[in-house]
Every structure is written in structure tokens, then in C-alpha cells.
Amino acid sequence: MSAPEIIMLTAEDLPVFCPPAGKSLWDQHPRVFLPLDKHGECRCPYCGAHYRLHGESKGQHA
């Protein structure tokens, strides 16, 4: 089994949700909104998709 692809995101892609738009209807799970961790990453609890924020989010605090 290979590691899931990392889906790169920008601030314009927020909020993060899975499954992403354009995914085939037959393999979708319920839409779930995902919180980013302090490293700007998250994983979907249903399918294991790995999301990573590239750059900073709007309103991000240090």
C-alpha cells in the first residue's frame, strides 16, 4: 500500500474539506471539514487524504 498523495493548499482553499470538489461520486464519503494542525497539515479520518497548507493562512497568528 502506497502513502496517500499530499494535497497542497493555499489560503484561497480554506476552509479545508474532504472529499475535494471534482472527486467521482461513487467513491465519496460524507463531507467533513478538517482543522489544520500547528504545522498547517491535516488528514481526513475517512479516506486518509493528507492536506498541507503552502504559505500562511489569512488571519494566522504567531
Residue with C-alpha cell 463531507? 31
Q: Running DSSP on this structure, what letter comes out for residue 7?
A: E
Do you find a cis peptide bond into 4, omega within 30 degrees of 0?
no
- Give one DSSP letter per residue of 16-60, joined into a string: EEESPTT--GGG----EEE---TTSEEE-TTT--EEEE-S--TT-
Kindly report the number of other CB atoms within 10 A of residue 25's CB atom: 6
pTM score of the predicted model: 0.77
| Tens-place pLDDT, residues 24-46 | 776 689 999 999 999 999 999 99
pLDDT band for position 61 (50/70/90)? very low
